[in-house]
Structure 1
Amino acid sequence: GVVRLYKWERLQPPREEVAPDLDTERGMMSMIKGRTNAGHLGQSLSMFSNEDGGGIWIGEPMSEQENGRIYRWSFDQDMECIKNNQVLLARFGSQIGPLGTDAVCITSQRYGQNARYSGAVTLLQKKKK
């Protein structure tokens, strides 16, 4: 998968154009590509804002042999990768949701290698300064 970040103002065509030419590079600020074939990068997304600006959480739940991982992409900083290091969790990053301004909720579709109907929830909170 690929996740592209666009600047909305630059993406808009001029008003006089009847049939705008859809160019995927027009207005694009940045792009990341998945690291695993069929990793499903971008299956889950969640925006965040903080004192440093803002960014986006991006899930790639099928990567690492379905262990999954997520990325924290701050728009003006390097991207941070958080891998699933729990043996029992599978498809980490299936869903991502904000919990206020300093925490995020990440789901795993499976809890256990052969579990079909159970999942898990992981909460990450920003460290206090």
Structure 2
Amino acid sequence: MKNSLKLSAFVLALGLAVQVQADENHHHEEKTLKISAEAQKHLGIEFAKVSGKSPWTLSRTALVQIKDANGVYKKHEDAIEFIDVQILKTDKDSISVRAEGLEADDEVAVKGTKFIRIMESELNSEPAGHGH
């Protein structure tokens, strides 16, 4: 029952809170994932500030694996973007990473990353027959 509630909240968030911004002047569309604060709350998406200096020590829950890439989701103003990371060390609760796109005080997703991943995947998939 709890999973179906979570799924309902996800579908609601996906339908109402995800916005796509495409730059019409470019052949290749740059898509930006935005998730409203309300949707983040419903989906249990939480962010934590990056502190210190590189290499960064992050919660292991921040790590997202997509095919051969490892990364984290960084909140950038009101958008969320995937940042590639190089894993230097892992332990039970944390990871040590090096990343070009991370700086002190950046916020990375530490909970709800699977929902962000699903929304990003939907955002970047082209509808059938929409090839260039």
TM-score (norm 1): 0.25
Larger strand percent:
1
Larger helix percent:
2
Larger RCO: 1 or 2 (CA < 8 Å, sep 6+): 2
TM-score (norm 2): 0.25
